[in-house]
Amino acid sequence: MEVKTHIITSVTIAASISTYIAIPFSAGYVFGTILGSVLPDLDKKDSFIGRRSLGVSYIIQMLFGHRGFTHSVFCWILVTILCLYHPSHFTYGLSVGYAGHILGDFFSNRGVPIFYPVIKKPFTPSSLLTYKTGGLSEKLILMSTVIILLIIMLDGDLFHELIQSVRQWVDHL
């Protein structure tokens, strides 16, 4: 999945969660979600986040390869535990975005090794439910997710929550 699709799908998941659970759709939550949505690709040195990692991604890629440990449920659990030790809207978003990334790659035709390191084989659903990264089906996922996000944002109070949060943040500067 391309970075823009990871970000939009993860923010849409975060917005959906925010409508049902008492997590305000704040700037911190959204920024955490965006960072979490690209963080698993730290295992690929030429990814969006890998190019900005000051060499960390090179080491992770050498140790685990792309779509290895960082794309597993175990890594998500470790990230989430660290987030729970520092609870904030940002860290909740980080966990949601990380899970959204793994979920998005799970539906790609390459799948993800969900149970790595116990089972290193990538899992993927039926080929009827998969997409090719950068292909037409991913573009359709991106467009439909943008529409869903707009509906969620405009239908409820999420848009106003986000604007209010940004205003509060700017006022503290």
In the predicted structure, residue 128 carries a pLDDT above the cut 80? no
Give the Cα separation of 18 and 7 in Å (integer).
16
Beta bridge partners of 112: 123
**DSSP character for 42?**
G
- Could you report the per-residue pLDDT of 134-168, keeping only the tens digit for each? 999 999 999 999 999 999 888 878 888 888 888 88
- The pair phi, psi for residue 154, each rounded to 5°, is -85, -25
Cα angle: 44, vertex 57, 82; to 5 degrees: 110
> Quick one: pLDDT band at residue 57, thresholds 50, 70, 90?
very high
Q: Residues for the chain: how many in total? A: 173
Residue ranges covered by each domain of the chain: 3-168
Contact 159, 22 (CB under 8 A): no
For 8-50, write each residue's pLDDT tens digit.
Answer: 999 999 999 998 888 889 999 999 999 999 999 999 999 999 9
